[in-house]
Amino acid sequence: MKKQLPFLILLILSSCLLNHQLLAARPGFGVGVILGEPTGVSIKNWLSNRHALDAALAWSLDDDGGFHVHGDYLVHQVRNWRVPELRGGMRFYYGVGVRLRTYRHDYKGDNGDTLFGVRFPLGLNYVFHSVPFDFFVEVVPILDLVPGTDFDLNAALGARIYF
């Protein structure tokens, strides 16, 4: 059961993110790239003016490599820091989420490992008002829980286009 728990939680989170109502063709759903640790495809769905869900399917670029999947619930600051020349606003955000990551090999030289942890993203999100596009930069402390307790840190920047 211990090894199945991360997959069960990931399945539940994925079903929430891929819920038909959330992916309906309406403003607020974006697809783009995330670059850094990890690097891959990023999606975000705004639930309201302050709340959003985001996720990524990515590859970890550190020495051990491996596939990385995460999903987060985000809360954005109410006030925008406006930049009139760019016709948009920047918001600070924070949240909580989960991460599942595989390694090509573990630290003991064995044939790989799977990590499951809790993410605490902190970031800045710049949203353009005149075009359906945003940029973001984030730092994410992670508490890995499976197969053992450990701390990790991710940092990335990215961009998305909204439909």
Q: Where are the alpha helices (DSSP H) in the chain?
A: 4-17
**Helix (H/G/I), strand (E/B), else coil: 1:** coil
pLDDT above 70 coverage of the chain, percent: 73
Q: How confident is the model at residue 12 (pLDDT cuts 50, 70, 90)?
A: very low
Q: What integer pLDDT is reported at residue 87 of this predicted model?
A: 73
**Helix (H/G/I), strand (E/B), else coil: 108:** coil
Kindly tell me if the per-residue pLDDT of 93 is higher than 60: yes
Kindly tell me if the per-residue pLDDT of 76 is higher than 80: yes
Structure tokens at 108: 């003991």
Structure tokens at 48: 């309201």
pTM > 0.85: no
Which distant-in-sequence residues (6+ apart) come within 8 Å of 21 by Cβ?
none
Q: What angle do CA 161, 17, 46 make, to 5 degrees?
A: 45
Q: What integer pLDDT is reported at residue 74 of this predicted model?
A: 97
Q: What integer pLDDT is reported at residue 8 of this predicted model?
A: 45
Q: How many folded domains does the chain comprise? A: 1
**Section 144-157 average pLDDT:** 94
Q: How confident is the model at residue 103 (pLDDT cuts 50, 70, 90)?
A: confident
CATH code for the domain in which residue 59 is found: 2.40.160.20
Identify which has the larger pLDDT, 56 or 88.
56
Q: What integer pLDDT is reported at residue 62 of this predicted model?
A: 78
Kindly tell me if the per-residue pLDDT of 26 is higher than 80: no
**Helix (H/G/I), strand (E/B), else coil: 86:** helix
Alpha-carbon gap, residue 130 to 103, rounded angstroms: 41
Q: What integer pLDDT is reported at residue 56 of this predicted model?
A: 98
Q: What integer pLDDT is reported at residue 13 of this predicted model?
A: 47
Task: Give the domain extent around 59.
Answer: 4-162
Cα distances from 12 to residues 9, 17, 18, 28, 31, in angstroms, run 5, 9, 10, 22, 21
Rounded to the nearest 5°, which phi and psi values hold at 50? -115, -20
Structure tokens at 107: 């630290």
Identify which has the larger pLDDT, 103 or 70.
70
Q: Which of 9-13, 27-31, 62-66: highest mean pLDDT?
A: 27-31
